[in-house]
Amino acid sequence: MQPNLSMVLEQVGKDKGIDKKVLVQTLEQAILTAAKKVFGLERELEAQFNEESGQVDLFQVCIVTEQSGVRGRDIAKADADRQGLRAEVGDELLFQIFYADSDVEKADDQERKYGDILDLNDTVKRFGRIAAQTAKQVIIQRIREAERENTFNEYRDRKGELITGIVRRFERGNIIVDLGKTEAILPVREQVPRENYRIGDRIVAFVVDIEKNARGPQIVLSRAHKGLLEKLFEQEVTEIYEKIVRIESSAREAGSRSKIAVSSRDRDVDPVGACVGIKGSRVQAVVQELRGEKIDIVPYSDDPARFVCNAIAPAEVSRVVIDAENHTMELIVPDDKLSLAIGKKGQNVRLASQLTGWRIDIHAESRVKELEGVERRVLAELEGSSDELSSTLFRLGWRSAQDVAEARIEELKGVPGVGGESGAQRLKEGALHYVNEERRKRGEQPLSERTERPVRASAEVNSGMLRSGPPSGGPRPLPERPPLPERPAERPPEQPLSARPAKGGLGGLDPEITARLQDAGYSSLESMDEEDEERLARAADLTLDESRDVKRKVRRQLSQEKRSIR
């Protein structure tokens, strides 16, 4: 043992950041364990560090008993009296074991006096060498453990952050990265296939996890995680770091393409523009770090339909059908934009689905029109139906024979042209017969006559208009219209279209169009005058030209009424 062990422990504690008390306790325990192995497990031993001498003092505890017991542990009362030891039965006598080379004389003197009681023999000399080796091993081992613990504590809070290191070596495809004080691993599964590194290259990675094992903490890095994309934007865009612009979600196929949705807490700050930067400087810095990966920055919206349309960009969307129950959206796109919306091997729609959290199905307009034409013909051929009724059913949300078969009688009987409850029953039975015939051909179980589809929340977005209602099993309600402005006190109350004196229906308007408008819920001239042309056309199943003609004639009619009031 070195006489200045206290100074050694103090210096090691300062250099390695270890509390000296921890080293002292560890050393005491190690010396005590080694002593028990050498002197015997049956002995009662104690170890205590001596600050003055810089050594660990070892003591043997002997218990005074009436009769002789375990040799080296028990002392008979008669033997204690003979040695001049004043003790009573049950007392504990503490004898220091001198094992250091500097205490040879003390050890010999103790052997002459109390050799028969302690029964140490020559094991003391042998233990001196063992104690020195034990002290050395314990200090080295504790230093290693402390370094591992410090490393773990240092990087424990850095999970989910960016870290920079140097490529040091390769092990079975994994990249070992030097972080300075420790090393990290970039597993094969977290690497980007198109990226290649050489020893000495600088690398920026995302800290995925910090694993604590027997060999010390293992820091797992990633270049493929979407967190790398988000943290790079946070690093480049000050508005994101300051929480003005927020990253709502992101989706990434590492090495190929990524999408990121952003929103702003300040209405004066454009989130997309902030991420792009002047002449694209900010986004280009991120692209360069990701080795040329394409990045789409889309504005976030609380409206799911609008958010999905933004995410599917640069493709244009004509119509969106939302199935809230199944968390699914069907996007109708122009034929020439279909491949652009789907993307290479479905990449664009796949990333958009990951970004929004909705399942997305994309269809071309021509295919949708073709399918709609088939369904319209099927509806028209049902018993109790007609071409006009088929158009009405299709417009109100029943778009297949199965939808009609699963609909409720109470809902069907309210459709114009059905013919009340009896007509609704006949229409439902015809639809059920047709559906069951088709299911039998496919070898499927036929529907029950009492099958009714429950009303469920869904919506359809058509050219920017949101229409709420069940996708099937019930008519879709008309779009909400803004409230009517306050009328002058002398103005007569609104009159329904049927009560308006008009030649040919409404100022020369076709009676069939007038009927459609009434079926669509437009019961007054004022409600049509305040409606948008496109929404009026969709609600009443009119062409845009017919809708404009209706608006002109409605304004003319209202103008004539105002002049007559004056």
- Would you state the pLDDT for residue 221? 92
- Would you state the pLDDT for residue 488? 35
Residue 487 has pLDDT above 80, yes or no: no
State percent of the chain over pLDDT 70: 84
- Would you state the pLDDT for residue 26? 82
With cut-offs at 50, 70 and 90, classify the pLDDT of residue 464: very low
Out of 82-86, 168-172, 392-396, 445-449, least confident range: 445-449
- Would you state the pLDDT for residue 498? 41
Residue 496 has pLDDT above 50, yes or no: no
User: For residues 62 and 92, is the Cβ–Cβ distance under 8 A?
Assistant: yes
Q: 412 Cβ partners below 8 Å, 6+ apart?
A: 404, 418, 424, 427, 428
Per-chain mean pLDDT for the chain: 78
With cut-offs at 50, 70 and 90, classify the pLDDT of residue 214: low
Q: 339 Cβ partners below 8 Å, 6+ apart?
A: none
For 357-381, write each residue's pLDDT tens digit.
999 988 888 887 787 788 778 878 7
Instruction: Outline where 64-103 has alpha helix (H).
Output: 77-82
For 273-319, write each residue's pLDDT tens digit.
999 999 889 999 999 999 889 999 999 998 888 999 999 888 888 88
- Nearest Cα neighbor of 324 from 362, 368, 359 is 359
Residue 213 has pLDDT above 90, yes or no: no
- Would you state the pLDDT for residue 563? 56
- Would you state the pLDDT for residue 225? 92
Residue 537 has pLDDT above 80, yes or no: no
State percent of the chain over pLDDT 90: 18
β-bridge mates for residue 95, sequence order: 60
* β-pair type (257-264, 245-253): antiparallel
With cut-offs at 50, 70 and 90, classify the pLDDT of residue 471: very low
Of the two residues 201 and 462, the one the predictor is more confident about is 201
- Nearest Cα neighbor of 388 from 428, 408, 415, 421 is 415
pTM across the whole model: 0.57
* β-pair type (216-222, 92-97): unpaired
- Would you state the pLDDT for residue 205? 92
Tokens representing 378 are 């099927």
Query: What's the 3-state SS for 492-538?
Result: CCCCCHHHCCCCCCCCCCCHHHHHHHHHCCCCCHHHHHCCCHHHHHH
Q: How many other CB atoms are found less than 10 A from the CB of residue 75?
A: 25
